[in-house]
Amino acid sequence: MPELQLTKWQLVRDGDVITTPHARLWPVRLPDGSAAMLKVSTETEERNGHRLLRWWDGDGAVRLLAHDHEAVLLERAQPGGSLRAMSIAGQDAQATALLCTAAERLHRPRSTVPEGLVPLQDWFQALLEPKVALSPLLEQCRSLASALLATQIEVRPLHGDLHHDNVLDGGGARGWLAIDPKRLLGDRAFDYTVLFCNPDLCGPDIHVATQPAIFDRRVDQVSALAGLERTRLLRWIAASAGLSAVWFLEDGCNADVDLAVAPMALRQLARTGG
């Protein structure tokens, strides 16, 4: 545990360390006894997530309590429901609605946009200038991404990774709260795309997002709840899935989920003449 922050913020350890691919998290108690989470990340985007958390100020996301270099002290969401479990258990429409509500809260108009956000154009560089050979499918995703990025509308700060494991039950009046923002800046439609490849990407042997019937229902639901034109949403879904696929392929991993979702979006686009 980082002793510097433990002493500086007068924290008391309150559970076992949680390890993720890019961070370690310690449940702690503040001097007043309230629950918090101390997070130390090795990944640039996670380290800089404090910029948006401070800007959101607890409205739709966990509260940032303190920040010190690579360490952040966060409000700890209370144990509650899981959107991943909800989706797997046949309540995907409910989980999707909660994700849309979370996005809507995060996108509310606020004060001056914080500094240090990553333009969506930069976020897409792995797809726009790939280091791996692209299949015809991914070439189509790249073409869509290029056109979308050149014609962005409703530009605002974005979470960038809003999926079932990144929105937690805050309990009571706090509602469902986002964690781990990627601090992007771009077309708000992009923030609704990551959920279309999840919860399948949240863990092994999950098969929800790749079911055509669920995909079709999600498109209808998200388009209505988010107030997004259907063709625009489908284009962003294909572009986003293409980007995710390239990231996996660059790491030498399979991209089966993304490579199943992107064609579903493209087929719907073809049917609608988009």
Active-site residue among 14, 32, 68, 161? 161
Q: Cβ distance 160 to 192 under 8 Å?
A: no
Q: What's the rounded Cα separation, in Å, for the pair 31 and 16?
A: 19
266 burial (CB, 10 Å; 0-12 / 13-18 / 19+) is buried
Q: What's the rounded Cα separation, in Å, for the pair 137 and 152?
A: 23
First and final CA of the chain: distance in angstroms?
52
Backbone angles phi, psi at 70, to 5 degrees: -80, -5
- Which pair of tokens denotes residue 8? 């500086």
Q: Which residues, at least 6 apart from 258, have a Cβ–Cβ distance to it below 8 Å?
A: 197, 241, 242, 244, 245, 248
b or e along 88-113 (b: 16 or more beta carbons within 10 Å of the residue's beta carbon)?
Answer: beeebeebbebbbbbbbbbbeeeeee
Q: Is the peptide bond before 263 cis (omega within 30 degrees of 0)?
A: no
> Hey, which residues does 176 pair with through a beta bridge?
169
Residue 180 known to be catalytic: no
Which residues are tagged catalytic? 161
